Amino acid sequence: MAIPADIVNEIKYRNDIESVISSYVELKRRGKNLVGLCPFHNEKTPSFTVYPENGSFYCFGCGAGGDVFSFIKLIENLDYADAIRFLAEKSGINIIESATDNSLQKVRNTIYDINRETARFFHSVLMSDEGKWAREYLLSRGLTLKTINHFGLGAAPDKWDSLLNHLKSLGYSISDMVAANVVSKSNKGSYYDRFRKRVMFPIINVRGRVVAFSGRAMPGEDKSAKYINTSDTLVYKKSENLFGINFAKNCCEERIILVEGNMDVVSLHQAGFENTVAALGTAFTADEAKLLSRYTKEIVLTLDADAAGQKAVRRAGEILKDTGLNVRVIVVPDGKDPDEYIKKNGPERFKALLEGAVSEIEYKLLTAVEDIDVNTDDGKVKYLSRAADIIADTPDPIARDLYISRLSDKYGIQRSTLENRVKEIRRQKAKTKRRQEINKIINPRFEKSSVLPEKNAYPAAVAAEENIIAVLLSHPDFTDYAKDNITPDMFISSVNRRAFERMLELSLEGLDYDLSLFGEIFSGEEMGYITSLLNGNKSGDNSLTVLKDSIRVINDESLKRKSIDSAKKSTDDWAENIKKIIDNKNKGDK
């Protein structure tokens, strides 16, 4: 690990897991542990548990788990090493990296440095004569120089190697520029600037670091795409970031405004709406929704009013529904986007729109009528069928009652008729959902991405492996016994084999099996699994007996597999010999 183990232990000691997590989650004591609503998925019944005794947490709902560093990694959207640094800064500990610094972290740090220098380069071009075309465009869109500087906007020159040569002059290698995705490699093997003749928007994460770029083509330019963006790198995943979140996170306790484009974000911030962000990429994602849920209680959607915008609103609404956030929608008049509307009508009128934002269900009901003539009986029936389906999806019984009353009054039908239709749809959907849940129990699916894809084929062996890992996590002193009786290559499950190998490494170094020593080399999902074994009480009061029995199962299963492999080899050899005899006979006949 790049950060010395004794420093990591000191950071963990100063950042008690109960204190750290309680600053994000409301915890209630349940015996010697604490429980609360999981911050990583939407739930009504607490399944998130903190174990102060061993400094871990685990959610029985979504499987998230680990130590205090794992929690910060997930909640602050950081990698594991940065989570350690985050808590080090919080507790005033100065980290001196070891001489054998982790090479991956070195690359990350280099990418951060390249991104910072790239942002400075683009901004300097924008403010120079060379970038006059981009500066005039931004000013023509109503932006002030103060706003341009605030967001660090820039311009990519209309050249193939300006940035490449600039970064080279600062000592960066081309391979690092490619890793940062600011330079690309052609099919012929030459290198060139990824962004050319574009207005540049630096993408900054919640910690204030430049992680990527979005380049907008000039209006009228014959470009293959209006926007091109940084591809995913070691420091950036577009599905887990939002443009403007670095500013919005400081002023969005009540609500965040979600718009469609970078320019909308910049314009709204300039107009005083600093709680505005935009999704990155082509669609709003569950990870972006999760990020928003850390900072606010309500999301106001202001996506474009065209058909694509309406579809985006519906998709975003479905994704946000799982976060527990209140969702409202602004219907911008005349099909304009927020930027256009503010320029024409001013911030006060937009503020009025914001205050009058409708609920998500009301927006769906409004847009559901657009292609229907409700002045005809057929049209009314068609619309009310759509409306019943929309209302049935609403979990709040008060909201359902309100909209049933409104629509029955408006369209002159008996309230009971619409109410019964909504109830019937809800019954059908509940029945379908229940059938799906039962099917999952009866016919469990083992996805390729599962931590234990091997358990379906080898349930006994993998269950025994789980027992071994669980016992050793609680009783490191049994490691020598385990090492003398089984080897890592006898493990079927990849994650259990790696966990056992890690324990053997730590045992040789004389280190305890602290979760922080697993966190940097195991994924978040794997850490959740390992934490569940630590706190699962699989061994009870008979740990050594459980360990011995589990090792016996592993050995028996290993012998079975060898026997099957041997039989298969014998069969294959026999078939091959028969084939040779037949081939030789055929040759002789000729």
Same domain, 230 and 133: yes
Task: Round to whole Å and give the CA distance between 247 and 204.
Answer: 9
Query: pLDDT grade, residue 418 (50/70/90)?
Result: very high
List all residues 6 or more positions away from 426 whose beta carbon is below 8 Å from its beta carbon.
392
Same domain, 11 and 114: no
Same domain, 385 and 506: no
pLDDT of the residue at 541: 61
pLDDT at 557 > cutoff 90: no
pLDDT at 282 > cutoff 70: no
Q: Is residue 151 part of a domain?
A: yes
Helix, strand, or coil here: 329?
strand
Q: Which two tokens stand for residue 89?
A: 């800064």
Across 314-323, 368-377, 449-458, 546-555, the highest mean pLDDT is recorded for: 546-555
pLDDT of the residue at 448: 40
Taking residues 161-169, what's their average pLDDT?
96
Same domain, 500 and 425: no
Query: pLDDT grade, residue 566 (50/70/90)?
Result: low
Same domain, 560 and 520: yes
Percent of the chain whose pLDDT exceeds 90: 38
Q: Is residue 60 part of a domain?
A: yes
Report the half-sphere exposure of 130 (CA within 13 A, side-chain side): 15
Minimal CA–CA distance to 156: which of 190, 192, 187? 192
DSSP secondary structure string for all residues of 36-93: E--TTS--SS--EEEETTTTEEEETTT--EE-HHHHHHHHTT--HHHHHHHHHHHTTP
Yes or no: say if 259 and 276 are a contact pair by the CB < 8 Å rule. yes
Helix, strand, or coil here: 567?
helix
Q: Which two tokens stand for residue 522?
A: 């195991």
pLDDT of the residue at 57: 94
Q: H helices within 170-306, ranges in order? A: 174-179, 245-248, 262-270, 286-293
104 against 295, higher pLDDT: 295
159 against 330, higher pLDDT: 159
Round the CA-based radius of gyration of the chain to a whole number and report it: 30
Check the CA dihedral 182-188-189-192 and report its sign: negative
* pLDDT, tens digit, 9 for 90 and up, residues 12-58: 888 999 999 999 999 999 888 999 999 888 888 888 999 988 899 99
Listed residues 90, 114, 131: the one ending a domain: 90
By residue range, what is the domain housing residue 551?
459-565
Q: Is residue 274 part of a domain?
A: no
Residue type, 394: T
Q: Which DSSP symbol is given to 194?
A: S
Same domain, 73 and 115: no
Task: Round to whole Å and give the CA distance between 583 and 368.
Answer: 73
Query: pLDDT grade, residue 442 (50/70/90)?
Result: very low
Minimal CA–CA distance to 382: which of 373, 392, 394, 395? 373
Taking residues 60-81, what's their average pLDDT?
87
Helix 494-509 × helix 459-474 angle, to 10°:
30
- How many other β-carbons are positioned within 10 Å of the β-carbon of residue 26? 10
Q: Average pLDDT over the chain, rounded to whole?
A: 84
pLDDT of the residue at 445: 43
pLDDT of the residue at 569: 53
Q: Is residue 362 part of a domain?
A: no
Yes or no: say if 40 and 290 are a contact pair by the CB < 8 Å rule. yes
pLDDT of the residue at 453: 82
Q: Is residue 374 part of a domain?
A: yes
- How many other β-carbons are positioned within 10 Å of the β-carbon of residue 245? 26
Same domain, 111 and 81: no
Percent of the chain whose pLDDT exceeds 70: 87
Q: How many domains does the chain have?
A: 4
pLDDT of the residue at 444: 42
pLDDT of the residue at 450: 62
Q: Which two tokens stand for residue 11?
A: 């950071």
Task: Round to whole Å and give the CA distance between 14 and 5.
Answer: 14
Query: pLDDT grade, residue 99 (50/70/90)?
Result: very low
CB-neighbour burial class of residue 113 (10 A; exposed 0-12, middle 13-18, buried 19+): middle
Minimal CA–CA distance to 111: which of 228, 236, 243? 236
Q: Which range among 37-41, 423-427, 559-563 shows the weakest confidence by mean pLDDT? A: 559-563
pLDDT of the residue at 437: 60
Beta-bridged to residue 227, according to DSSP, are 216
Task: Round to whole Å and give the CA distance between 526 and 295.
Answer: 27
- Which CA distances in Å does 329 have to 276, 353, 363, 403, 546? 14, 10, 7, 17, 57
Q: H helices within 93-244, ranges in order? A: 103-126, 132-140, 145-151, 162-169, 174-179
pLDDT of the residue at 389: 92
Listed residues 236, 257, 277: the one ending a domain: 236
- How many other β-carbons are positioned within 10 Å of the β-carbon of residue 203? 24
Beta-bridged to residue 359, according to DSSP, are 328
CB-neighbour burial class of residue 414 (10 A; exposed 0-12, middle 13-18, buried 19+): exposed
Minimal CA–CA distance to 194: which of 232, 236, 156, 137? 156
Same domain, 79 and 114: no
Q: Which two tokens stand for residue 351?
A: 């503020």
pLDDT at 276 > cutoff 90: yes
Same domain, 155 and 198: yes
pLDDT of the residue at 127: 96
Yes or no: say if 55 and 20 are a contact pair by the CB < 8 Å rule. no
Q: Which helix (H) or strand (E) holds 430?
A: helix 415-442
3-state DSSP percent of the chain in helix, strand and coil, to 5: 55, 10, 35
Minimal CA–CA distance to 59: which of 394, 414, 553, 529? 529
Yes or no: say if 390 and 361 are a contact pair by the CB < 8 Å rule. yes
pLDDT of the residue at 103: 62
- How many other β-carbons are positioned within 10 Å of the β-carbon of residue 182? 28
Same domain, 119 and 231: yes
Listed residues 90, 117, 137: the one ending a domain: 90
Helix, strand, or coil here: 469?
helix
pLDDT of the residue at 580: 59
- The residue behind tokens 């469990």 is 444
Q: Is residue 373 part of a domain?
A: yes
Same domain, 425 and 504: no
Residue 229 sits in a domain of what CATH number? 3.90.980.10
Residue 121 phi/psi, 5-degree rounding, is -60, -50
481 against 313, higher pLDDT: 481
Q: Is residue 423 part of a domain?
A: yes
Beta-bridged to residue 59, according to DSSP, are 48
Check the CA dihedral 15-17-18-24 and report its sign: positive
* pLDDT, tens digit, 9 for 90 and up, residues 493-540: 889 999 999 999 888 877 778 888 888 788 888 898 999 888 877 656
Same domain, 115 and 230: yes
Residue 537 phi/psi, 5-degree rounding, is 55, 40
CB-neighbour burial class of residue 431 (10 A; exposed 0-12, middle 13-18, buried 19+): exposed
Q: Is residue 351 part of a domain?
A: no
Strand order across the 326-329 sheet: 242-243, 276-279, 256-259, 298-301, 326-329, 358-359
pLDDT of the residue at 182: 96
pLDDT of the residue at 447: 40
Q: Residues for the chain: how many in total?
A: 590
Task: Round to whole Å and give the CA distance between 323 and 285.
Answer: 12
pLDDT of the residue at 446: 38
Minimal CA–CA distance to 86: which of 208, 173, 215, 211? 208
